[in-house]
């Protein structure tokens, strides 16, 4: 069996085993528009291979394949520290050890082929992304026939784990997504999104929540938070000890938050302009009317930050300055670096989306959630496939993952316009290129002071892209870099004393992030306290805290926080 023909036949059989199983299940659980995905990942430039590298890879592959095939069931235990194969069973089970060795050989070879591709950078990135997705799906750990740990558990439980796994699979098929946490342990308004407040205004797009003061005095300038409409607002209010909202209230800010409606077909024609004029600008004006403040402070998180930047540019074009300062958390304003999401975006993909929903329709929340999950497939997809279905485990209760599974739809025209004008054409940083709410946008006119935060390991808003906002906003700026990723870096309360952050006290903001980092100092713990000190400097004097919500007679408490809009499911 050490001949080339023997190896080829063995490899064919092995590949055949790997060719079925979970793909159909994942398609059922994670409904993705495969036409759009195919259009996004298809290479649009000719692809070739560096001949020298290809020949070297072929030789290495055949030599390694012969050696592996000659070892047979005596293959060495899994190496490399891959947590998917770290259990004792993988080393003790010859079939499992062999399957991992063969898989790792295939993975090394395929990634070597990716490195040998001769094409433009975007095509190479697309090929790499596609290969990584395939490798993540075809790992031996995803198959009961090879997963020694799952087999061991099945024997120890006398098959109960398999029965529980089937029940988990049927449950997830009914609910339409893979369970990342025990969702039965959470309820919005009961043990997440519990900061006390009331809805004081609503229209068809959002509810405005005012929170009860926790201090006898509040700053005269109220504080408005604009979360991303791609998610539910309570990422900012998970638990009392990690709530950004509660923290702001405890610092003496009269705090308001936009809670987005989860769109259904009645909102299928809503555009970007609707969300800026009838939501962000309306929220700013409503906070002013309720509080009587000439100016407010505002915060935008992720897409909410992009929307806030648009709203500020519209106000500047109108000669209005109702916002005294702005905070941008993991926000894209300059879209020249969109990280891994760039593999999806080109003219063909955007045009397809415009044809599908540019004039009306919904971008389904589950499709958005699936896309973001598959950016980290081993951690956010296959890890749960193995635990939930092969081992019959119930994932632990985790508030952040509960929020992550609470999907939100988007109106099609809003989504298609956003893709073209920001992700594809990067029009926001081009003065006068965009017209929003009837106004030509020019960020050079947005001269208010800003606080800009980026997460060092963010795969959605790369840290360099967050830093790039410092180069397009002309006002006085403070930039801070936090550890961890898109969400964990933001939701990092000081009391936890976790992670770290970086600051430059000299205030310099050079052209690139690398230059900024060279002069930055790493500080232990959260960045929240630094932000709170900055925001305090823009909040004005303190006044007596209000005794009731809203302002009679026009703005009365409609219902308790967190309101009804956040309860709507996609």
Residue 165 lies in a domain: no
Quick: pLDDT tens for 449-507: 999 999 999 999 999 999 999 999 999 999 999 999 999 999 999 999 999 999 998 99
Total of domains in the chain = 2
**Of 367 and 243, more confident:** 243
Residue 177 lies in a domain: no
DSSP letter for 419, please: I
Per the CB < 8 A criterion, the answer to whether 169 and 162 are in contact is no
Residue 401 lies in a domain: no
- pLDDT, residue 398, reads 93
Q: Is the pLDDT of residue 12 over 90?
A: no
Calpha distance 182→180 (Å, rounded) = 7
Residue 511 binned pLDDT confidence (cut-offs 50, 70, 90): very high
- pLDDT, residue 54, reads 84
Residue 220, classed as helix, strand or coil, is coil
- Select, from the ranges 62-71, 262-271, 368-377, the one with the highest average predicted confidence (pLDDT): 262-271
Same domain as 214, residue 143: no
Residue 67 binned pLDDT confidence (cut-offs 50, 70, 90): confident
Residue 353 lies in a domain: no
Residue 301, classed as helix, strand or coil, is strand
Q: Is the pLDDT of residue 168 over 50?
A: yes
**Domain end call among 97, 128, 157:** 157
H or E stretch including 362?
Answer: strand 362-363
Same domain as 201, residue 127: no
- pLDDT, residue 410, reads 97
Kindly report which listed range (117-121, 239-243, 422-426) carries the lowest average pLDDT score.
Answer: 117-121
Q: Is the pLDDT of residue 37 over 70?
A: no
Cα distance from N-terminal residue to C-terminal residue, the chain: 55
H or E stretch including 101?
Answer: helix 94-116
Residue 367 lies in a domain: no
Q: Is the pLDDT of residue 19 over 80?
A: no
CA dist list (Å): 12 to 20, 112, 209: 13, 20, 60
- pLDDT, residue 75, reads 60
Query: Exposed/middle/buried for 109, CB within 10 Å: 0-12, 13-18, 19+?
Result: middle
**Of 376 and 531, more confident:** 531
Quick: pLDDT tens for 528-551: 999 999 999 999 999 999 999 999
- pLDDT, residue 463, reads 97
Q: Is the pLDDT of residue 527 over 70?
A: yes
Same domain as 127, residue 233: no
Same domain as 208, residue 139: no
Pairing of strands 477-482, 450-455: parallel
Q: Is the pLDDT of residue 23 over 50?
A: no
Same domain as 233, residue 104: no
- Long-range contacts at 418-422 (CB < 8 A, ≥ 24 apart): 418/272, 418/303, 419/345, 419/349, 419/350, 419/353, 420/350, 420/354, 421/272, 422/306, 422/332, 422/335
Domain that holds residue 77: 4-157
Quick: pLDDT tens for 75-115: 666 666 788 988 888 888 888 888 888 899 999 999 999 98
Which residue, 100, 99, 93, is CA-closest to 148?
A: 93
CA dist list (Å): 546 to 97, 330, 485: 67, 32, 37
Percent of the chain with pLDDT over 70: 90
- pLDDT, residue 11, reads 36
Average pLDDT (23-30) is 42
Same domain as 516, residue 445: yes
- pLDDT, residue 48, reads 77
Kindly report which listed range (115-129, 228-242, 483-497) carries the lowest average pLDDT score.
Answer: 115-129
Pairing of strands 500-503, 477-482: antiparallel
- pLDDT, residue 15, reads 39
Residue 307 lies in a domain: yes
Tokens in use for 351?
């045009």
Residue 216 lies in a domain: yes
Q: Is the pLDDT of residue 556 over 50?
A: yes
Same domain as 204, residue 153: no
Same domain as 496, residue 441: yes
The DSSP string of 488-555 is TTTS--GGG--SEEEE-TT----SSHHHHHHT-EEEES-SHHHHHHHHHTTS-SEEEPPSSSSBTTTB
Same domain as 264, residue 150: no
Give residue for tokens 């938050």. Answer: 257
- pLDDT, residue 45, reads 59
- pLDDT, residue 233, reads 97
Tokens in use for 470?
């410092």
Quick: pLDDT tens for 176-225: 889 999 999 999 999 999 999 999 999 999 999 999 999 999 999 999 99
Same domain as 531, residue 434: yes
Average pLDDT (434-448) is 98
Please give the model's pTM, rounded to 2 decimal places: 0.89
- pLDDT, residue 443, reads 98
Same domain as 432, residue 556: yes
- pLDDT, residue 25, reads 41
- pLDDT, residue 89, reads 83
Residue 104 lies in a domain: yes
Residue 375 binned pLDDT confidence (cut-offs 50, 70, 90): confident
Percent of the chain with pLDDT over 90: 74
**Domain end call among 142, 157, 172:** 157
**Domain end call among 99, 128, 157:** 157
Per the CB < 8 A criterion, the answer to whether 199 and 191 are in contact is no
Calpha distance 420→347 (Å, rounded) = 8
Quick: pLDDT tens for 307-359: 999 999 999 999 999 999 999 999 999 999 999 899 989 999 999 999 999 99
CATH code: domain of residue 510 = 3.40.50.1820
Residue 229 known to be catalytic: no
Same domain as 142, residue 232: no
Cite the DSSP H helix spans in 138-275: 148-156, 160-175, 244-250, 272-275
The chain-wide mean pLDDT, for the chain, equals 90
Quick: pLDDT tens for 144-166: 999 999 999 999 999 999 999 99
Sheet strands (E) in 57-106: none
Per the CB < 8 A criterion, the answer to whether 532 and 244 are in contact is no
Sheet strands (E) in 266-357: 296-301, 323-329
- pLDDT, residue 50, reads 79
């Amino acid at each position: 069996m050490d001949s080339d023909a023997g190896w080829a036949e063995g490899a064919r059989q092995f590949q055949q085993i790997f060719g079925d199983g979970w793909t159909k299940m994942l398609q059922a659980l994670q409904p993705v528009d495969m036409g759009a995905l195919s259009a996004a990942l298809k290479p649009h430039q000719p692809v070739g291979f560096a001949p020298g590298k290809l020949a070297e890879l072929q030789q290495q592959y055949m030599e390694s394949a012969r050696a592996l095939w000659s070892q047979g069931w005596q293959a060495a235990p899994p190496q490399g520290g891959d947590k998917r194969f770290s259990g004792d069973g993988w080393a003790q089970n010859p079939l499992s050890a062999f399957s991992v060795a063969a898989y790792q050989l295939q993975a090394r070879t395929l990634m070597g082929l990716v490195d040998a591709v001769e094409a433009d950078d975007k095509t190479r990135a697309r090929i790499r992304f596609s290969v990584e997705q395939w490798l993540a799906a075809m790992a031996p750990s995803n198959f009961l026939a090879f997963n020694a740990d799952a087999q061991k558990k099945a024997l120890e439980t006398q098959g109960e784990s398999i029965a529980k796994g089937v029940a988990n699979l049927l449950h997830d098929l009914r609910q339409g997504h893979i369970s990342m946490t025990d969702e039965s342990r959470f309820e919005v308004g009961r043990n997440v999104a519990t900061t006390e407040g009331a809805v004081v205004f609503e229209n068809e797009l959002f509810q405005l929540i005012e929170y009860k003061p926790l201090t006898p005095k509040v700053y005269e300038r109220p504080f408005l938070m604009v979360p991303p409409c791609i998610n539910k607002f309570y990422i900012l209010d998970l638990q009392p000890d990690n709530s950004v909202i509660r923290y702001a209230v405890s610092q003496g800010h009269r705090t308001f938050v936009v809670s987005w409606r989860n769109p259904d077909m009645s909102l299928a024609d809503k555009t970007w302009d609707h969300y800026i004029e009838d939501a962000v600008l309306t929220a700013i004006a409503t906070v002013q009317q309720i509080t009587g403040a000439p100016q407010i402070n505002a915060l935008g998180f992720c897409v909410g930050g992009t929307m806030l930047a648009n709203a500020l540019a519209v106000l500047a074009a109108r000669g209005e300055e109702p916002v005294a300062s702005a905070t941008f958390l993991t926000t894209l304003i300059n879209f020249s670096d969109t990280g891994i999401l760039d593999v999806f975006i080109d003219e063909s993909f955007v045009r397809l989306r415009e044809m599908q929903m540019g004039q009306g329709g919904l971008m389904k929340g589950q499709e958005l959630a699936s896309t973001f999950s598959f950016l980290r497939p081993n951690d956010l997809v296959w890890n749960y496939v193995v635990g939930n279905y092969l081992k019959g485990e119930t994932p632990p209760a985790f508030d952040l993952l509960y929020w992550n599974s609470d999907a939100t739809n988007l109106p099609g025209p809003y989504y298609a316009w956003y893709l073209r004008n920001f992700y594809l054409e990067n029009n926001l940083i081009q003065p006068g290129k965009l017209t929003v709410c009837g106004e030509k946008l020019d960020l050079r006119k947005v001269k208010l002071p800003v606080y800009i935060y980026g997460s060092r390991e963010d795969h959605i808003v790369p840290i360099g892209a967050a830093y790039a906002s410092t180069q397009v906003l002309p006002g006085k700026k403070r930039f801070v870099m936090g550890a961890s990723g898109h969400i964990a870096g933001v939701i990092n309360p000081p009391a936890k004393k976790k992670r770290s952050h970086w600051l430059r006290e000299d205030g310099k903001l050079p052209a690139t992030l690398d230059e900024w980092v060279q002069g930055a100092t790493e500080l232990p713990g959260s960045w929240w306290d630094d932000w709170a000190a900055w925001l305090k400097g823009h909040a004005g004097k303190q006044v007596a805290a209000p005794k009731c919500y809203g302002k009679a007679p026009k703005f009365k408490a409609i219902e308790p926080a967190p309101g009804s809009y956040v309860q709507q499911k996609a």
